[in-house]
Amino acid sequence: MGNPAHYSREIPSRCMQLIDELWQHAGGLFQSDRRDLGPLTSTFLISMSYPIINLPIERIERHSSRHEQGYADDRHIDPKLAVAIWQDLGGKKLSEAPFFTSGAWSFCQSEVFNISGGLPEKYAEALASPEAQTSASELETSRWCSALRNALAHGGVAYLNEDGRYAYEAPVNMYLFASGRYRREEDQQKLVGLNLLRITEVDYRNFLRSWVKWLQVSDVEAILEAA
């Protein structure tokens, strides 16, 4: 495998190819001691999605306000792609993003709790509501991508069953992405709550495909021509 000319575009594309071409194989692999919990597709998908999401955010989006070149900075390789990323991950609503699908994401805010102990019922109910889908669609894309990026970067991921509940004795159907909300107090950042994003495994895989397509040259040029 050759060295990518553009990490923010090519690594996500390669990861998506691995997901699509190895998905059937992953569907035949099971946890050795718990085949009843279903195949290891969730582990595979979440693991492969880290570079798909985080590389273009870290190597392009996070440099939007910087003039000097960063140590991991892809802006200069394709300025058109950088502009498109800043436009679509800027102040627009998530519902206006090229990779958005209506009804896929749910969003709510919560008090601080430890996701390793499960998802409190009141937040499971909140995320299952139509209001949570509306809240997700109205999020600024900058806020949405920060929440998703932070959850992936800091381990804020939990698996949920088909009812959107945290249940060890059931196959995974949904993902919960949790990231912290902070307030500055006396020169320190105090954790005051969480941002919670929820999406099904099927919708997450489809979202990743749309995200990777958005990063490709042809789509970027179409976005810029339509602007």
- pLDDT for position 39: 85
In the predicted structure, residue 82 carries a pLDDT above the cut 90: no
Q: What average pLDDT does this structure show over 182-208?
A: 92
| 135 CB neighbour count, 10 Å cutoff | 18
pTM (two decimals):
0.89
* pLDDT, position 187: 77
Rounded CA gap, 155 and 35, in Å? 25
Tell me what pLDDT residue 53 has: 92
Residue 119 has what pLDDT? 96
End-to-end Cα distance, the chain: 36
**pLDDT band at 202, cuts 50/70/90?**
very high
Per-residue model confidence (pLDDT) at position 65: 64
Tell me the per-residue pLDDT of 92-131, one tens digit each, with 9 for 90 and over.
Answer: 999 999 999 999 999 999 999 999 999 999 999 999 999 9
Helix then strand then coil, in percent of the chain rounded to 5, is 50, 15, 35
The ranges assigned to domains in the chain are 7-226
The pLDDT of residue 223: 44
Amino acid at 90: G
Strands 188-200 and 174-185: antiparallel
pLDDT, tens digit, 9 for 90 and up, residues 34-66:
887 778 899 999 999 999 999 888 777 777 667
